[in-house]
Structure 1
Amino acid sequence: MATKCYGWAAGLASLGLVASQAFAQETVSPDTMDKDWTVLVGAGAFVGPEYLGSKDYAFQPAPIGTIQKGPFFVKLTGTTLTANVLPLETIYAGPLIGYGGGRKDVKDNVVKKLDEVDAELWLGGVVGAGYDGLMLQRDRIGARIEIAHDVMGDSGTTATFSAGYEINATERLAFGVDLSTTYVTADYADAYYSVSASGSAASGLSRYKADAGFRDISLNVSSRFAVTENWGVGGTAGASYLLGDMADSPIVEERGARTNAQGGLFLYYNF
């Protein structure tokens, strides 16, 4: 659920590049169908805005991991769990479940006076496709769509469209880039970027009603290095640029920033 609630979520989306052999990729060769189970676990420390559009940043630890057999996998990136249920080589699809902390306990004393955004439980699905060896023997291109609906709070529905490219520069070192954009429904826009009458009176910000639309466009780059056969390290960095009603909100224009950066480092172990 890339870039769902916090800025660093965009960086977490790039962690799918970690340990390409163990993470279920956008493409799966036929000879992986009969391989044994593979497991990867790891964790990272990330920094990003408290919410997209905030000028205040915070650190966030996050786990990563995957369990895979052939084309089938269950993958954890941060607080988002996805799975593939299709026995196909170039297309994957499956359920998605994720948790979002909402917008609470922010540092900005003005935004703090606005209506809080409750914690979120996101349920949905992911569909992706990819191709190995686009221009070089060790490169990969892929695209995916993630759709999720908040079944616990009032944050509506989001749809994230992304495309990525990765190249294995050597057997140990790889680089990747990911470009994404997220469309949000009116409920999501209202929860995070509107200013109600009571919120306006409490904060001094002008009343504002945000509507559905594309929330942002995000660009992230990542790298990973296999230190040993089992251990690896990596990093990710990127930026998100708010669009439309989200960018025009007084929460962003007067108290925040239209452009947010995020980044982090991670360590993983491949069994």
Structure 2
Amino acid sequence: MREYDKFGLLTIMIGLGAASPALAEDGERAGTEGAQLHGSVYAMAAAAPDYVGSDDYRAVPFGGAYLQYGNFYFVTEGSGASLNVSPIAQVIAGPSVNYRFGRQAEDIDSTAVAALGDLDDAFEAGGFLGVRLSGLLSPRDRLQVSGKVLFDVSDTHDGHVGEIAVQYDLPVSRSFSVTAQVDGSWASEEFIDYQFGVDAFSIAEAGAPAAGLSEYHGKAGFYEVRSSLIGRYLVTDHVAVMAIGSYGHLLENAVDSPLVEIEGSQSQVFGGLGLAYMF
């Protein structure tokens, strides 16, 4: 079903990839000597916007996975995945890929946006780099600062996107832990046009339903800041209840688009509740 693809796998989830590492053990601090493979998977029911910038919401499934061996880990992040190949506990670095699902007119409640037609999917590849610091406020907490850049390799939007994220993990007790994250998303002009642009030809083709829209071409720059809070409560040694709440605030490059200013909203909210399994 397309609803599953869309927000099991959409760009607004880029910051929520932190949910999987938050469920991991502390094996990365011990190197690979005596290390064992461990990780987590989670699945939840969630609510998310129809498209990036929409003010209409729908129920969607969401999930992720995390595998770790010593300092090395593999994590799925919404529509993408990353592999940490750094052998240094305080440094994370490696390749990242993302399959960015476009808009499907049949999934959009806005008559005007739906009339513009479908937005093609894109495949992106790049990498990430960051640092991790542990034991700042408690013996088992962790602060992570990272950056990621992805380039379109599918000849769809021919641009690139970037993210800067600050994440803090805090085990409050043996059973309860929280993760807080703030991130900012930046993109090239090509990507802004792909995600938020409206051209005169599309408006003319759409006809009366899109008559209230105006032509828009954005510029490169930051287009969203997002804050997320993830909570986990252990029910057993391997099963936890997990909740995610996230608020995104679209910036000028996105807000000036009629897809947001006229048909959508600057505020982008995501929330989900589900179960996680650790092994």
TM-score (norm 2): 0.88
Do residues 253 (structure 1) and 271 (structure 2) align? no
CA contact (8 A) 1:6 1:50 kept: no
* Match of residue 101 from structure 1: 101
Match of 2:227 among 216, 219, 242: 219
Match of 2:150 among 122, 125, 148: 148
The C-alpha deviation readout for 1:40-75, integer Å capped at 9, x for no partner, is 222222221122211111222233112221011111
CA contact (8 A) 1:17 1:176 kept: no
* Match of residue 177 from structure 2: 174
Do residues 49 (structure 1) and 57 (structure 2) align? no
**1:49 corresponds to which letter in structure 2?**
P
Q: When you count helix as a share of all residues, which structure comes out higher?
A: 2
TM-score (norm 1): 0.90
* Match of residue 25 from structure 2: 21
Q: CA deviation at 1:234?
A: 0.9
Do residues 233 (structure 1) and 241 (structure 2) align? yes
Do residues 199 (structure 1) and 207 (structure 2) align? no
CA contact (8 A) 1:240 1:259 kept: yes
CA distance 1:74–1:64, change in 2 (3 Å): same
Identical columns (%): 27
User: What SS does the corresponding residue of 1:117 show, helix, strand or coil?
Assistant: coil
For CA contacts below 8 A with separation 6 or more, give which structure has more relative contact order.
1
Match of 1:163 among 156, 162, 166: 166
Q: CA deviation at 1:115?
A: 4.9
CA contact (8 A) 1:138 1:169 kept: no
Q: Distance in 1 between matches of 2:63 and 2:267?
A: 26
Match of 1:130 among 132, 140, 145: 132
CA contact (8 A) 1:10 1:220 kept: no
Q: CA deviation at 1:18?
A: 3.5
Q: Distance in 1 between matches of 2:35 and 2:215?
A: 58
CA distance 1:154–1:94, change in 2 (3 Å): same
Q: CA deviation at 1:147?
A: 1.0
Do residues 265 (structure 1) and 273 (structure 2) align? yes
CA contact (8 A) 2:20 2:66 kept: no
Runs (5+) with no aligned partner, structure 1: none
CA contact (8 A) 1:218 1:238 kept: yes
Q: CA RMSD in A?
A: 1.9
User: What SS does the corresponding residue of 1:103 show, helix, strand or coil?
Assistant: coil
CA contact (8 A) 2:92 2:130 kept: yes
Q: Distance in 2 between matches of 1:11 and 1:185?
A: 18
Q: Distance in 1 between matches of 2:10 and 2:37?
A: 32
